[in-house]
Copies of this chain bind each other. A is one copy, B any other.
Amino acid sequence: MTELTERQKTLLLLIVRDHIESAQPVGSKRLVEHYRLNLSPATIRNEMAALTEMGYLRQPHVSAGRVPTEAGYRYFVSQMMEQAVLPETVQRTISHQFHQSGADINQWMTLAASILAHQSQGVSVVTAPHIEQVKFKHVELISTQGRQVLMVLVLVGGEVNQQILTLAEPVSQERLSQTAARLNALLAGLTLDAMTALPARSDALDQDILTLILQDIRRSAERVSGEIYTDGLSNVLAEPEFTETEEARRTLKLFGEPATLKELLDRTAASGNVGGLQVLIGGEGMWEELRQCSMVIARYGVPGLATGTLGVLGPMRMSYARTIPTVRFMAGLLSDLVNDTISGE
């Protein structure tokens, strides 16, 4: 494949940019007028023909303007990747929002999904951090009435689970407190594996509670990894590519189903590393339904301890210039938050 000349490069970028804005095929005349190029439409046509030949552009029909191919978008994105940074002021605003929200994973995820969707004008998807190494921190047993006991379990990472237990017989608050104190001393900082390997306790109540703690931690590890947060479906409803054909409407429906989104994210993000950004254009052949769409995905968190995925879905025509820096910044921000929560306490 021959190299692109300097002029072809700028032209290609302009064409993609224009098409992203206008959602319409861009013609030679429009291009000249709109961007005040010191060239005649005829020259542009020649260059466009060359770019079409090389596979960066294509014409929907012979007498329409040009539309970027996947390769065209990919070139455009490769340019974005290098430079695009979120403006300082926006960065500060976002950070601020996070710091004045509560220290609650649920809130963080909702906020992240909301900001991503708003900034990118696409559909955002965020998965809660998957805790790969759960560590015990603290347990509290609070007698309520009769045989019912409220167990509050604190894990390293700030996660707090509460659960109501019903014991075989009433137990005094004093004895509950003693049991909690013994278990706290025994389990402090242990991982799930280490706790599972412990020998059975001699005290029956201790053993019962220990079993329940293990159950709870196992469930929690699974549950948190499964939760998904999404936002911004309405952003994409108005986009012209989704209102027309039946096929497009099926794609749209897919966007509205969190379970499907999660699978999408999991499969594609599996290969990515924390810190890296993946941009999938036109589904990259893997997803038939996403032929018209693009995804910008990143993993965040602390590798080996707790990681999650976040991303934006939109039409292939999405605003990469806004989406890419936002996803990158949010991944960094969430990584910091996870890091603080895990190590900071």
A243 contacts chain B at the CB level, 8 A cutoff:
yes
A: contact size bracket: 20 to 34
Quote the shortest CB–CB distance from A140 to chain B (angstroms).
5
Q: In the complex, what residues of B have CB within 8 A of residue A104's CB? A: 162
Residue-wise, chain A 132-156 has the 8 Å CB interface mask toward B (1 for contact) of 0000001010101100101010100
List the one stretch of A233-241, A318-326, A328-336 in contact with chain B. A233-241
A24 contacts chain B at the CB level, 8 A cutoff:
no
Indicate if the CB atoms of B154 and A160 lie closer than 8 Å: no
Q: In the complex, what residues of B have CB within 8 A of residue A148's CB? A: 345
Q: In the complex, what residues of B have CB within 8 A of residue A234's CB? A: 252-257
With beta carbons under 8 angstroms apart, the residue of B150, B252, B253, B345 that contacts A154 is B150
A158 contacts chain B at the CB level, 8 A cutoff:
yes
Indicate if the CB atoms of B152 and A160 lie closer than 8 Å: yes
Determine chain A's interface SS by DSSP, over half rule. mixed
Q: In the complex, what residues of B have CB within 8 A of residue A154's CB? A: 142, 150, 152, 162
Quote the shortest CB–CB distance from A176 to chain B (angstroms).
12
Quote the shortest CB–CB distance from A340 to chain B (angstroms).
10
A102 contacts chain B at the CB level, 8 A cutoff:
yes
Task: Count this chain's copies in the assembly.
Answer: 2
Q: In the complex, what residues of B have CB within 8 A of residue A102's CB? A: 163
Quote the shortest CB–CB distance from A28 to chain B (angstroms).
32
Instruction: Tell me whether A144 and B345 are in contact in the complex, defined as CB-CB below 8 angstroms, given that A160-B152, A160-B160 are known contacts.
Output: yes
Indicate if the CB atoms of A233 and B249 lie closer than 8 Å: no
Indicate if the CB atoms of B140 and A142 lie closer than 8 Å: yes
A103 contacts chain B at the CB level, 8 A cutoff:
yes
A106 contacts chain B at the CB level, 8 A cutoff:
yes
Q: In the complex, what residues of B have CB within 8 A of residue A142's CB? A: 138, 140, 154
Indicate if the CB atoms of A164 and B243 lie closer than 8 Å: no
**10 interchain residue pairs of minimum CB distance:** A234-B256, A160-B162, A234-B253, A144-B345, A233-B256, A140-B140, A138-B142, A152-B152, A237-B253, A103-B164
20 contacts across the A-B interface (CB closer than 8 A): A102-B163, A104-B162, A106-B106, A140-B152, A150-B154, A150-B345, A152-B152, A152-B154, A152-B160, A164-B345, A233-B233, A233-B256, A234-B252, A234-B253, A234-B255, A237-B249, A237-B252, A237-B256, A238-B249, A238-B253
12 additional A-B pairs beyond A138-B150, A142-B154, A237-B252, beta carbons within 8 Å, are: A102-B163, A138-B142, A140-B140, A140-B152, A144-B345, A148-B345, A152-B160, A154-B162, A158-B162, A160-B162, A164-B345, A243-B249
